[in-house]
Structure 1
Amino acid sequence: MTAPTVAFVCVQNAGRSQMATAFAEQETADRDLDVNVVTGGTRPADHVHENVVETMYDVGFDLSDRTPREVTFEEISGSDYVITMGCSAEDVCPAGWGGENRDWGLDDPHGQDAETTAEIRDEIQRRVAAFFDELEAEQ
């Protein structure tokens, strides 16, 4: 069985999808799962939002060296799971999808205060853990 590919996609790839990717990378390592994690945006920002960097640092993740990037059609069409963060699937990729699509409907942390950003972060962490519970059960 080939390793599943999971894409965490957002418009700017500067907040929610970056947090989800960091948590997914940790889940992959902690559970010793063979999962490919991809992240990107349709209109990437210049940098990860500062409040997101600070909030993730509070729970042991350093995102200060990460740079938002554009997700490619090939990455989306080749993914087994495409998880958008609160932007509709049509806004993220108007062409065909490769696998199962989920939209988590999360609030955008951009410009939010530390408490609200931490709440969004914690919800992302819960959702990523639950998603990896599903992946682990399938492997």
Structure 2
Amino acid sequence: MTTKPSVLFVCVHNAGRSQMAAGFLAHLAGDAIEVRSAGSAPADQLNPAAVAAMAELGIDIADQTPKILTYDTVETSDVVITMGCGDTCPVLPGISYRDWALDDPAGQGLDAVRPIRDEIRTRVEALITELL
């Protein structure tokens, strides 16, 4: 019996990119992949434009909260995808790391967040194909 893969999305504030990625992965993969997200310096709340951009596609991330990145969360993940957290993300042997260079939606309006959201969706779809 195989265990399902675990993916951790990491960005600085865990309020935009990583939350949108986690929302897409949970929506598109269902329970086939364990989905996590965290930030090196979590914000107080999600980026409202990110929440609105996802809601346009029928994905509700409004109930999510930014979470602090912990060593344990990284250690127990199969794939860690960073999105601008730089050197603050611990690197551990045996874990697959990817860095997705994406614009930061912080302080951006909905029109600027939509293309970021769409790029994240494309990357998440490719990730699902790879992992399943």
Q: Distance in 1 between matches of 2:61 and 2:78?
A: 25
Normalization by structure 1: what TM-score?
A: 0.87
Equivalents in 2 of 1:49, 1:123: separation in Å?
17
Q: Which amino acid aligns with 1:124?
A: I
Cα RMSD of the aligned pairs, angstroms, is 1.4
Post-superposition offset of 1:41: 0.7
Alignment check: 8 A CA contact 1:87 1:103 kept: no
Cα deviation, residue 98, structure 1: 4.7
Amino acid corresponding to residue 6 of structure 2 in structure 1? T
Any idea what the Cα deviations from partners look like across 1:71-114, whole Å, max 9, x if unmatched? 211110111100011333x2222x53551000001010011122
- Show the counterpart of 1:53: 51
SS of residue in 1 equivalent to 2:44: coil
1:78 to 76, 79, 100: 76
TM-score scaled to structure 2, two decimals?
0.92
The one-letter code of the counterpart of 1:26 is H
Partner residue in 1 for 2:88: 91
Residue matched to 2:14: 13
1:47-92 Cα deviation digits (max 9, x unpaired): 001111111111112222211111211110111100011333x222
User: Percent identity among equivalent residues?
Assistant: 44
1:63 aligns to what?
61
- Contact 1:9–1:82 (Cα < 8 Å) also in 2: yes
What amino acid is the match of 2:8? A
> Deviation per CA, 1:22-52, whole angstroms, max 9, x where unpaired?
00001222xxx63211111111100001111
Q: Which residue number in structure 1 is paired with residue 115 of structure 2?
A: 119
Q: Is the 8 A contact 1:24 1:128 kept in 2?
A: yes
Of 126, 130, 134, the match for 2:126? 130
Total equivalences in the alignment: 131
Q: Distance in 1 between matches of 2:37 and 2:127?
A: 16
